[in-house]
Amino acid sequence: MLLRQDIHESTTERDETGIILAICAGETRLFHDLIQPYERTVYRMAFSVLRNEADAEDAAQAACIKAFAKLDDFRMESSFNTWLISIVLNEARGLLRKRNRISIESLDRSMADFSTWSRDIADGRTLPIRQLLQQEIQILVHEAISSLPAMYGDVFRLRELEGRSIYESAEMLGVSESVIKIRLHRARQKLKRYLRIVYPSNFPVEKLG
């Protein structure tokens, strides 16, 4: 006997298959119906890689366009959601590599931000120390995740930031569940080492598992 949730999921999968077949047959207007439930997830995954709203929007849009263009190649061996996430991760990583090639400009902007922050400190316009520390920790964590090789960063984002299961993460990245577990363990260890070096005394590395 199927639970209510199982019935809903089965219906969703059956409807998605029909929509995809209809789109491939020429009913392209249905693509919006297909993509709409996943728009928020696509953006979140792009943002988790890029940490910039405009870049995340660009990557999410590019991923949706690519999914539409390549929909005929989707074999339905995995869920559409899984296939779409793999596309947005590739798009976000590509945009990140392109952005890193202009690191000098990024450095200039960072220095300008630091100068503004320093002037605010001098003028007495400071944030509560706890808020400053929380912001610093968040920045350090995302910098640390960005420093990971893609194979570890993607697993960490899917499991820890997106809350995906081991099974879902394995499907999205096209590897086995045991590989996901190994990569997640190694990602956590690498993050701990990175954060202990950058923030040796106060960072709560135990929260990384």
User: What are the structure tokens assigned to 160, written together?
Assistant: 């820890």
Rounded alpha-carbon distances, angstroms, from residue 110 to 76, 94, 116, 134, 189: 44, 22, 10, 19, 28
pLDDT at 133 over 60: no
pLDDT at 10 over 60: no
In the chain the domains, ranked by start, together with CATH numbers, are 1-102 (1.10.1740.10), 127-201 (1.10.10.10)
Please measure the distance between the N-terminal and C-terminal CA atoms of the chain and give it in whole angstroms: 37
pLDDT band at 104 (very low <50, low <70, confident <90, very high): very low
Per-residue model confidence as pLDDT tens digits over 22-39: 999 999 999 999 999 999
pLDDT band at 124 (very low <50, low <70, confident <90, very high): very low
Per-residue model confidence as pLDDT tens digits over 162-209: 888 899 888 888 889 999 999 999 988 888 888 777 665 555 555 555
Q: CA angle, corner 154, sides to 152 and 156, nearest 5?
A: 70
Alpha-carbon distance 80 to 85, whole Å? Answer: 9
Per-residue model confidence as pLDDT tens digits over 28-73: 999 999 999 999 989 988 888 888 888 999 999 999 999 999 999 9
Report the candidate in 40, 51, 32, 27 with the shortest Cα–Cα distance to residue 135: 51
- Confidence at residue 182, expressed as pLDDT on a 0 to 100 scale: 94
Per-residue model confidence as pLDDT tens digits over 138-162: 666 777 788 888 889 889 888 887 8
pLDDT band at 128 (very low <50, low <70, confident <90, very high): very low
pLDDT at 111 over 60: no
Alpha-carbon distance 167 to 62, whole Å? Answer: 26
pLDDT band at 137 (very low <50, low <70, confident <90, very high): low
Cβ atoms of 17 and 76 within 8 Å: the answer is yes
